[in-house]
Structure 1
């Protein structure tokens, strides 16, 4: 399992519209092969900065199967107009199980 983290900066004043657009796009991720969930987080210190976390079975499920699908185009059509800069995307794997303190 890998987690895609996309840091997204949106245009000032478009935060609520962006959040609604991401909510509309959740079914696109939910129906994607290999997708196991999506979350959107907003920065407290930088309110125009978001982190989109998507859990994928493999990097290929994200970078090939989803990115080459029609649903990726639909995703970008919904959220792309709000981007102030291109998103920065990376993939991570967990190296420490969920630890409670």
Structure 2
């Protein structure tokens, strides 16, 4: 399994609207082929910084299948207006686990 970590900076004062947009978009991720789940985390130290963590079977499930889908277009339409900068995205895999 691969975890996509998207660090997202949003416009100050739009935190509630962004969180509502992600809540609406969450089913788009969960319905996507290869998606194993998703979580949204908010920074304590930087309240306009979020990390969207999406678990995928493979990197290609994210970068090819999802990014080329209508679900991705809908996600960006919902959340994109709140972005202060383009999200920084990376993919990680576990090397140590309990």
> Shorter-normalised TM-score: what interval?
over 0.9
Unaligned runs of 5+ in 1: none
- How far apart, CA to CA, are the structure 2 residues paired with 1:24 and 1:95? 32
- How far apart, CA to CA, are the structure 1 residues paired with 2:39 and 2:70? 21
Counterparts in 2 of 1:19-38, with a 5 A limit? 19-38=19-38
Q: CA deviation at 1:52?
A: 0.3
Structure 1 SS opposite 2:76: helix
Structure 1 SS opposite 2:75: helix
- What residue is the counterpart of 1:57 in the other structure? 57
* Residue 92 of structure 2 corresponds to residue 92 of structure 1: yes
Q: CA deviation at 1:95?
A: 0.4
Q: CA deviation at 1:45?
A: 0.3
Structure 1 SS opposite 2:46: coil
- How far apart, CA to CA, are the structure 1 residues paired with 2:70 and 2:52? 20
Structure 2 SS opposite 1:81: helix
* Residue 16 of structure 2 corresponds to residue 16 of structure 1: yes
The structure number with the bigger radius of gyration is 1
TM-score (normalizing by structure 2): 0.99
RMSD of the alignment, in Å? 0.4
TM-score (normalizing by structure 1): 0.96
